[in-house]
Structure 1
Amino acid sequence: MKIGELSQLSGLTASRIRFYESQGLIRQVERSSNGYRRYSQQALQTLQLIQCAQQAGFSLDELKQLLPDNVTGAFKHDELMAGLHRKVEQIEEMQRHLAHSKAQLLGWIDTIQAKPEGMSCDENAERLMTSFKH
């Protein structure tokens, strides 16, 4: 398929597809006699994998380690599993951090809403800032 069709099927721009190709993420791209790129169904599957992995937080460098080997076209099981486990650990750490941040924000909301009657917004903000110092 030509790049326009691949772009339409994947939802990615042609320039993004060419970028992934230049980064070595899409392999075995053929050229027709007039120089047009010709992509296989495998390229579409790879682009879908890239999009899914990026949504999970994988960087392009991390993705390169997860994709099939350039020479054999086979996945490297141990590297794939290690990379997936590392990302799960990173996500779990991020979840812990986000839960802590959420708890802090909810505490601030409670503190702001519990302002003494008659206290101005500025005074209440100062009261909140003072609580941060402790």
Structure 2
Amino acid sequence: MKIGELSKKSGCSIQTIRFYEKQDLLEACNRSEGNYRIYDASSLRTLQFIKQCRSLGLTIIEIKQLLDTKNNPDKSCSSVNNLIHQHMVDVTHRIAELQELKLTLSEMASACTDNRKVKECGVLQLLEE
């Protein structure tokens, strides 16, 4: 299948597919006589895997590690488990940071009412501190 068909079937844009190729997440494909990229079902499965990983917030580097591990089916999956555990730790840390951000924004929002003039704006004053 050509890149347009792969794009439709995978739900990834053509630019995204090319990006994944450049990042070595998607193997180089064969080319037709007209120099069109020709993809197979394996490319589609890989794109679906990448898309699922991205939906979980995994980085390109993490996805590359998972794909490398996946291509060695007889190896231990401990590296996969470690990667997912570390990703969970990172997500927990980001959630804590976002909760702190929400608290700060909430405090800022209560520092000003709609009826004030800009020169009296509590939010702008807090931002200048």
Kindly state the Cα deviation for residue 38 of structure 1 after the two structures are TM-superposed.
Answer: 3.1
Q: Which residue of 1 aligns with 2:45?
A: 45
Kindly state the Cα deviation for residue 69 of structure 1 after the two structures are TM-superposed.
Answer: 4.2
Q: Which residue of 2 aligns with 1:125?
A: 122
Q: Which residue of 2 aligns with 1:111?
A: 111
Paired residues of 1:7 and 1:17 also in contact (CA < 8 A): yes
Kindly state the Cα deviation for residue 24 of structure 1 after the two structures are TM-superposed.
Answer: 2.0
Q: 1:76 to 1:18 in 2, by over 3 A?
A: farther
1:54 has 2:38 as partner: no
- SS of the residue corresponding to residue 52 of structure 2 reads helix
Q: 1:32 to 1:128 in 2, by over 3 A?
A: closer
Could you tell me the TM-score, scaled by structure 1's length? 0.71
Kindly state the Cα deviation for residue 96 of structure 1 after the two structures are TM-superposed.
Answer: 0.5
What aligned pairs does 1:88-107 form with structure 2 within 5 A after superposition?
88-107=88-107
CA distance in 2, matches of 1:33, 1:93: 51
Q: CA RMSD in A?
A: 3.3
Q: Which letter does structure 2 place at the counterpart of 1:53?
A: C
Greater C-alpha Rg: 1
Q: Which range moves more in the overlay, 43-52 or 83-92?
A: 43-52
How many residue pairs end up in the alignment?
128
CA distance in 1, matches of 2:109, 2:3: 51
Kindly state the Cα deviation for residue 125 of structure 1 after the two structures are TM-superposed.
Answer: 2.4
Paired residues of 2:30 and 2:38 also in contact (CA < 8 A): yes
Q: Which range moves more in the overlay, 49-58 or 101-110?
A: 49-58
Could you tell me the TM-score, scaled by structure 2's length? 0.73
Q: 1:126 to 1:40 in 2, by over 3 A?
A: closer
- SS of the residue corresponding to residue 92 of structure 1 reads helix
Q: Which residue of 1 aligns with 2:80?
A: 80
